[in-house]
Amino acid sequence: MIVLQGVSKVYPGGIKALDDVSIEIPEREFAFLVGPSGAGKSTFIKLLIRDEIASSGRVFVNNQDVGRLKHKHIPLFRRKIGVVFQDFKLLPYKTVRENVAFPLQVHGILDWKVLQPRVDSVLELVGLPDCLDRFPDQLSGGEQQRVAIARALVHGPLILIADEPTGNLDPNTAWEVVQLLIKINAYGTTMLMATHNREVVDMLRRRVIHIDHGRLVRDEKEGAYHAA
Amino acid sequence: MRPRMLLFALQSALAHCRRNKLMSTFSVTTTTVMLLMLGCFIVVITSLNVTLRALESKIDVVAYVKDQADPAQVQNLRDSLSQNADVESVRYVDKDTALARMRQTLGDKAQLLSQIKGNPLPASLEIQLRFASSAPALADQLRQEAAIEEVDYKQDVVGRLLAITSFLRLTGLIIVAGLGAITLFIIINTTRIALFSRRQEIEIMKLVGATDWFVRWPFIFEGTFLGLLGAVATVILIAAGYQPMLTHLSGLLTFLPLAFDPQFLPKLLLSLLAGGALIGGAGSYISVRRFLDT
């Protein structure tokens, strides 16, 4: 599902963000990506969604060589993955309903008779059925992150990538969001979650991919936040 | 882009204008103020042009015909002059009419004329020109004619008038061109500022898998719509203010024949509408392109 083969990323100015990282995340897996700030987690994710291109090595997502995608094929590629961010990245002038429907509209599905049931069911899944006509700034942080997750899921992606999804949330809300991600993974979506949340990682005992100074330092099947 | 997609883009654009009232008002106001300034200058300069043309058409060239000239030759000359593109009209004044005019001019001193034997006054061709600038060339041409004794036009007056009018025309043109460029610049910059705050929106749309055109169309519609709104406001203000302003001006400048072109106002208003929409749309397109590329 996600394969990195000897991937390095050097930014202009010679800053080495990733150094010869090879990894494979199979279908339906739930993996944590951990490491201190500046370790290269964000670069890792940017390579997966083709926000950056690897300096060397190859990145495959859904069997596609991400680095070799043509510019015009990037939108189509991104529609097969879902991404959730620490700062939610909701469109401020669209309602909850419109934000969640947006990835489908991008696909060319514009008829609300088709959109509405799908928006309703995904909002039901994230536990926010009653906020359809509110705007993002009228919601709490936890609610906004749920809307963002609903948006990342609405088009049925095979992979959900979450970059610090609990970073801006209080512990209780963070737990609720993580429970939601586990539920989504249980339905069959491959999940990669970059996080600093030690408690969550230690409790769940899932695969842990640890990056430090751009290098893969640990990859454990049922790992904890820190090496045992 | 399918028509259904364009409709969706249009709906998104209108919804955004409605939801972000502050930015929309700011854009429309800027467009209105700039177009209004440009429009007023165009009105003033066009009126000035009409006035200048009226002034210039007051200049005429008088060609005195030799007494012994062949009448057929004079007739030929009259015909060729009336076909000349620079000439507004030609009038032949024969010797008797010239004398009658002289008598009228002299008034109660007309008896002086009885001291003179016969009619010393020559017949003449009075030529009204379309453009005063063609006077010197036409005068030279007429001097070559065998039937013509002498050509007269108010050489120094024409020279000075032409210097003034061409200066005024050039100044007007420079002001309108400069103001046009400034208008374009400011409106495009306003759009850019408005879009700068929405850079993240563009980024998000792209992350969710929107194609460049899917991102672009709503912005283009929004810019066009706000530009058009600004232009409509300008058009209403100018249409309402045009008549009172010109009446006031003609009251001030009674010595000038201010003949306003009734065709001009609708033309100006249509150009302003088209210009507002075009600048708004193009401004958005240019600004969005910058954010899409990065």
Residues in B touching A91 (Cβ below 8 Å): 201, 204-205
How far apart CA B184 and CA B190 sit, in angstroms, is 10
**CA nearest to B294 within chain A:** A51
Cβ proximity of A100 and A150 under 8 Å: yes
A76 near B CB under 8 A: yes
Q: For B227-278, how does the pLDDT look when each residue is reduced to its tens digit (9 = 90+)?
A: 999 999 999 998 888 878 777 777 776 665 555 666 788 888 899 999 899 9
> In chain B, what percentage of residues exceed pLDDT 70?
95
Helices (H), chain B: 3-19, 21-56, 71-83, 95-106, 135-143, 155-196, 199-207, 212-252, 264-293
| Cβ contact, residue pair A110, B205, below 8 Å | no
Q: For B177-204, how does the pLDDT look when each residue is reduced to its tens digit (9 = 90+)?
A: 998 888 888 877 877 777 777 788 888 8
User: Among A73, A77, A61, A80, which Cα is nearest to A23's?
Assistant: A61
Of A93, A108, A151, the CB nearest to B20: A93
Dihedral pair phi/psi, residue A17, rounded to 5°: -90, -35
> Does B9 score more than 70 pLDDT?
yes
Residues in A touching B204 (Cβ below 8 Å): 89-91
Of A49, A72, A135, the CB nearest to B207: A49
How far apart CA A84 and CA A151 sit, in angstroms, is 9
Write the DSSP symbol of residue B291: H
**CA nearest to B19 within chain A:** A93
Residues in A touching B218 (Cβ below 8 Å): none
**CA nearest to A85 within chain B:** B204
| Cβ contact, residue pair B8, A105, below 8 Å | yes
**CA nearest to A46 within chain B:** B207
| Cβ contact, residue pair B209, A108, below 8 Å | no
| Cβ contact, residue pair B200, A89, below 8 Å | yes
How far apart CA A49 and CA A152 sit, in angstroms, is 13
SS (H, E, C) A52-118: CCCCEEEEEECCEEHHHCCHHHHHHHHCCEEEEECCCCCCCCCCHHHHHHHHHHHCCCCCHHHHHHH
Interface test with B, best of A91, A96, A112, A160 (most B CBs within 10 A): A91
What are the structural domains, with CATH classification, of chain A? 28-42+72-220 (3.40.50.300)
The parts of chain A modelled with pLDDT lower than 70 are none
Q: For B50-74, how does the pLDDT look when each residue is reduced to its tens digit (9 = 90+)?
A: 777 777 777 778 888 888 888 888 8
| Cβ contact, residue pair A49, B19, below 8 Å | no
Whether the pTM exceeds 0.80: the reply is: no
A51 near B CB under 8 A: yes
> Does B92 score more than 60 pLDDT?
yes
A12 near B CB under 8 A: no
C-alpha distance from A223 to closest chain B C-alpha (Å):
31
A vs B, Cβ pairs < 8 A, gives: 52
Q: For B103-119, how does the pLDDT look when each residue is reduced to its tens digit (9 = 90+)?
A: 888 888 877 777 777 88
Residues in A touching B211 (Cβ below 8 Å): 72, 75, 106
> Does B102 score more than 90 pLDDT?
no
CB neighbour list of residue A78: distance below 8 Å, 6 or more residues apart: A49, A50, B206, B207, B208, B209
SS3 category, A18: strand
Q: For A166-216, how does the pLDDT look when each residue is reduced to its tens digit (9 = 90+)?
A: 888 888 888 988 999 999 999 999 999 999 889 899 999 999 999 999 999
> In chain B, what percentage of residues exceed pLDDT 90?
11
Interface predicted TM-score (ipTM): 0.82
User: Among A190, A220, A191, which Cα is nearest to A205's?
Assistant: A220
Angle at A187 between CA A181 and CA A188, to 5 degrees: 95
How far apart CA B213 and CA B114 sit, in angstroms, is 92
How far apart CA B205 and CA B222 sit, in angstroms, is 17
| Cβ contact, residue pair A90, B200, below 8 Å | no
- Rg (C-alpha) for chain A, rounded Å, is 17
What are the structural domains, with CATH classification, of chain B? 3-55+161-293 (no CATH), 60-153 (3.30.70.3040)
